[in-house]
Amino acid sequence: MDSNYNVFKEIELPDTCPPNLKEELVSEIDLIRNSLTLVEVFVDDLLKVASSLVSSTQLPGNSQNLN
């Protein structure tokens, strides 16, 4: 067996790909990017709301009695 033999060369695709495959890959990448952007926006808003709720509430042991 040749020392430069690479088994992965047998399964590598040629350098060119069909245009429709390229378009499908780009659209899938865009879909993933857009989905992650939506998740980031909603999680960021959720964390802001949770943070404001936690900071606005007082623990019973720390509240002062104004009687």
The predicted structure's pLDDT at residue 17: 77
What length is written for the chain? 67
The predicted structure's pLDDT at residue 13: 65
Residue 4 lies in a domain: no
**Structural domain tally of the chain?**
1
d(CA 14, CA 62): 69
pTM reported for the whole predicted model = 0.50
Residue 35 lies in a domain: yes
d(CA 46, CA 52): 10
Residue 1 lies in a domain: no
Task: Look at the block and give the residue holding tokens 């695709």.
Answer: 13
**Both tokens assigned to 47:** 């964390």
